[in-house]
Structure 1
């Protein structure tokens, strides 16, 4: 058994931020476990055509690691280079075990250590366990009738097969969310036909992208100027919360009007335009930023199937629709998202007394600051329940969580004890506050059913407020909310 002070599960931005902060605090006795055979998380795994970030790059980056970005919304390959730069700069490859898919973690009450069992890399133990596997790491493929009978090629956007030549192929893409909105324009021009199966339409806004000139990139090399641009973008995006939570008028007058004009301008066909018009308040589901999706869907070789013409079954040759049409295809692309709410942690977690986290979260996932859970000492969840953010950079929230986690470790060391655990009443109070505030938001009251919600109907993916509010909460450690043992 390999023993460390800290074990971090996941090597994406969450795991990288945790490792960097630990090293800054002089903690070098840690190990990162990565289930894949490469490091980097989302932006190294998701390499589908058209993959790009939808938050401005100067903000969607680690605050201590500025970068001379090539454009405002960079594509996957540049994000992958950035990720690898961070990993190499901080020597994280030597701190990582690859192919270490976690089978189970359990708390040893007597020794006050976490035991981490992996499928192929052996067993690890640690005083502190940080889960940074991320909410967008477990792909979901719906179990349509006949799904396994299809004789052609199929894969999820999360596991794109680059060896497969799309040119001249008959393709179906199932799903119409953020990933599909990037894939569709990227492949529509090279496939023979493309059938898009849409469960419900999304609101789409123009993508305000631009490439930086050489001079602008040179300026971004100055940390002070990079920081100025970063904070300018941050405060501009933060105003969106006013619409998401406090003012539907702002959403309707500003955002929805822009979205409707964008749709009307780019989709002249009234039948197609009707299929692409949502029936819920903008913001209730993830808003898509794209200036190329609508033109791609308007191409002669692309057909959009809405819910009335959806999938009845999958068969050997392709898809039979609800209208009885047989759509023969060579390839099915699953762009059907992730288990990002009820399945936010994909492996079994056993805490004090052998209690199962899955059982604790049976009604809906919840955690103090979205990070700590009663009954699970020394266990911290990065991007846990209600830490998602719909208007700004997720990395800002991750770094805020790190403030709380590092404060917890500091307080634990000062206490002379071996474990720290959030009190049940503190978590319950925090959870009540979160879901009371959530009632005011468009994610709860916007008239849609989205992946932001758990099976119970609770909005789990999002934090119901300004990101600076979350940072303030995470930065003010409350000893009375915790117990040490």
Structure 2
């Protein structure tokens, strides 16, 4: 279950007992039932376990006598266990899930939760009577989490693949983003591949380097580097209908061009890659250091400098949090405030007992992952769905959305003082989730209250050699300007992709990118797009969920081709149009269509939402279990 575990002797029983006494008894009871493969422990102790519905998660509690009895039985079960059960009985899991999560769990969620807990790999649906043919080959474009997940799936299938990575190492975003404070804002116990748990995160929200180490470890485990062309940027994809093959055009870091051929292509590129700068007069005239957060040079030392951070999103918050203690003066320029959620724990450090139990106690890390997933997944879905009656008279869009709004407002009032000028400046005029919400890494809001930190509620009016001129004509003298201004939204628009009959993907999308399940588009056979339009689970979870869904769907489609003896698979125009129409209809009920004042890359120039997904994760998961053969042309 765990990756890169270091073998060693288990802790002595009494030492382990001490760690178990600090753990959630509901989770321990679930572990006990799995170890024994029996519901008897639930019958004995289940009624004594209740839950405290407090942040950051539902915590199980019970009386000391019951807790001690659970631990005694658990130690006995560990001592008696020779082989761990490889599967959890469906009926048993149905009882364990609500116990461990602390809430009722509908039957429709159980298969997804079992998979997302890492208790088993994604289960096949299409017949596996015969393996995939040796003539089938897969080209993977990009070596981040999505590319690594696809490579792992190909390895398990015995599928020949080649990965193209423009950098010199795997890791995607986490290999390139090195700005001060860069970190994960999805719980670490969940932000991983469900089949490849890391049992030893040092932080509940680790810094980018630790997460990159996790990805590199996966690359080593599956020898992905042996299948990878590093320093190679894909520039074009061209479909050969007669040969039923894609030609992959690329250029290496020396400027040499070349091509490769593959039966199937999966693009594993994110849609936010090209640094975006604000259109500010004089930007090139600044005499000091000027750098975008996405192009950070780790050798930069800003200690004792006068620094401006332009931007107000997640990156800006992490930069301000990290830089404020070391710079002489910091000025943040905020075009529009974001809603900022407070950190719920006093510290993000994972306590020692948790790390030890995750490493040493079977199934414990799985349940912690599942708790983190559930707390940030469909339980958050009501926050983004509009209640028209409520929204008619509130800034928030529903009671659930209002609960989050009031939590964020209370954080503003605690930090800046209710009604203060700074509190007004950081308070948005749209409902939470109208644009991506920020989790305070712990010191962002407090940094804005420091004497040497200023917040300018507006964009720079002009950049001059000495610094930045504000809208009121004030000169802010600076040594360095850091642009935390995001990225251009590129749904593969930088690639020259020619499908059937020479049609291009850019022409097909023409400013309005769309896709069917698995990121498929009519006219582009055997092409699967991760981070596809409207595939992002924007109400919760993380992009790792969407990646796993997409990779599972790809493999299912390849087996469908095998069953039908086909060389290509292509979604029909009707299925494509119907699917997109369903997305647009559902989107009308979401926060992203009811917050017009929020500046967000989620919408295109016409106002259509092209990034967010309007559905629950469980709906998306079930949609992608297996392809509907009626929706495809198989040749």
Matched residue, 2:228: 96
2:381 and 2:616 in contact (8 A); partners too: yes
Q: TM-score with structure 1 length normalisation?
A: 0.95
**Per-residue displacement from partner, 1:363-382 (whole Å, max 9, x unpaired)?**
41100025101111111101
Deviation at 1:318, TM superposition (A): 2.4
Q: Kindly state the Cα deviation for residue 470 of structure 1 after the two structures are TM-superposed.
A: 0.5
TM-score, with length taken from structure 2: 0.73
Asked whether 1:227 is paired with 2:366, we answer yes
2:384 and 2:401 in contact (8 A); partners too = no
Q: Are the aligned partners of 2:491 and 2:532 in contact in 1 as well (CA < 8 Å)?
A: no
CA shift digits 1:65-119 (9 cap, x unpaired): 1112122211112101111111111111111111111222211222221111112
Change (3 A) 1:314 1:4: farther
The answer as to 2:323 corresponding to 1:187 is yes
1:240 aligns with 2:380: yes
Q: Is the 8 A contact 2:246 2:261 kept in 1?
A: yes
Q: Deviation per CA, 1:420-455: give whole Å up to 9, x if none.
A: 111111111000111111111111212323121122
CA distance in 2, matches of 1:460, 1:351: 22
2:260 pairs with one of 111, 121, 124: 124
Deviation at 1:462, TM superposition (A): 1.0
Conserved? CA contact 2:518–2:554, under 8 Å: no
SS at the partner of 1:196? strand
RMSD: 1.7
Aligned partner of 1:457 in structure 2 is 607
Corresponding position: 1:60 with 2:200: no
In the alignment, what sits opposite 1:372? 520
The alpha-carbon deviation at position 411 of structure 1 amounts to 1.0
Deviates more, 1:278-287 or 1:244-253: 244-253
**Matched residue, 1:282:** 432
Shift of 1:177: 0.2
Q: Which ranges of structure 2 fall in alignment gaps of 5 or more residues? A: 1-134, 388-396
- Which residue of structure 2 aligns with residue 211 of structure 1? 349
- Which residue in the other structure is 1:17 paired with? 149
Aligned pair partner of 1:381 in 503, 522, 529: 529
Q: Distance in 2 between matches of 1:483 and 1:95?
A: 30
CA distance in 2, matches of 1:150, 1:104: 37
Return 282-291 or 444-453, whichever deviates more: 444-453
CA distance in 1, matches of 2:575, 2:270: 24
Tell me if 1:403 matches 2:580: no
Unaligned runs of 5+ in 1: none
Q: Which residue of 2 aligns with 1:79?
A: 211
SS of equivalent to 2:605: coil
Distance in 2 between the 1:217 and 1:148 partners? Answer: 48
- The answer to whether the 8 Å contact 2:336/2:599 transfers is no
Give the SS at the match of 1:311: coil
SS in 1 for 2:552: helix
Q: Answer yes or no: is the 8 Å Cα contact 2:306–2:328 preserved in 1.
A: yes
Residue in 1 that maps onto 2:311: 175
The match for 2:202 is: 70
How many residues were matched structurally?
479
Contact 2:499–2:505, Cα closer than 8 Å, also in 1: yes
Deviation of residue 344 (structure 1)? 4.7
Distance 1:349 1:144 in 2: 33
Match of 1:306 in 2: 457
* Alignment check: 8 A CA contact 1:386 1:461 kept: yes
SS at match of 2:603: coil
- Residue by residue over 1:382-429, the C-alpha shift from the partner in whole angstroms, topping out at 9 and shown as x without a partner, is 111111122112111110111211111111122222111111111110
Tell me, yes or no, if structure 1 residue 480 matches structure 2 residue 611.
no
Whether the 8 Å contact between 1:344 and 1:384 is mirrored in structure 2 is: no
- Give the deviation of 1:252 after TM superposition: 4.4
Does the C-alpha gap of structure 1 residues 21 and 294 become closer, same or farther in structure 2, counting only changes over 3 Å? same
Matched, 1:326 2:475: yes
1:140 to 271, 276, 279: 276
Q: Which residue number in structure 1 is paired with residue 403 of structure 2?
A: 254
Residue 446 of structure 2 is aligned to residue 295 of structure 1: yes
Deviation at 1:148, TM superposition (A): 2.2
Maintained 8 Å contact 1:370/1:385: no
For 1:153, the equivalent position in structure 2 comes to 289
CA 1:145 to 1:344, structure 2 compared with 1: closer, same or farther past 3 Å?
Answer: farther
Contact preservation (8 Å) 1:42, 1:136: no
- What secondary structure, in the 3-state scheme, does the structure 2 residue paired with 1:380 have? strand
The separation in 2 between residues aligned to 1:442 and 1:430, in whole angstroms, is 20
Mean alpha-carbon deviation: is it higher for 6-15 or for 38-47?
Answer: 38-47
Give the Å deviation of 1:182.
0.6
Question: Larger C-alpha radius of gyration, 1 or 2?
Answer: 2
**Contact 1:370–1:383 (8 Å) recurs in 2:** no
Q: CA offsets, 1:261-312, max 9 Å, x none?
A: 00000113811111101000011111111132111111111111112xx222
Please say if residues 186 and 205 of structure 2, whose CA atoms lie closer than 8 Å, have aligned partners that are also in contact.
yes
- Higher RCO (CA-CA < 8 Å; seq separation 6+): 1
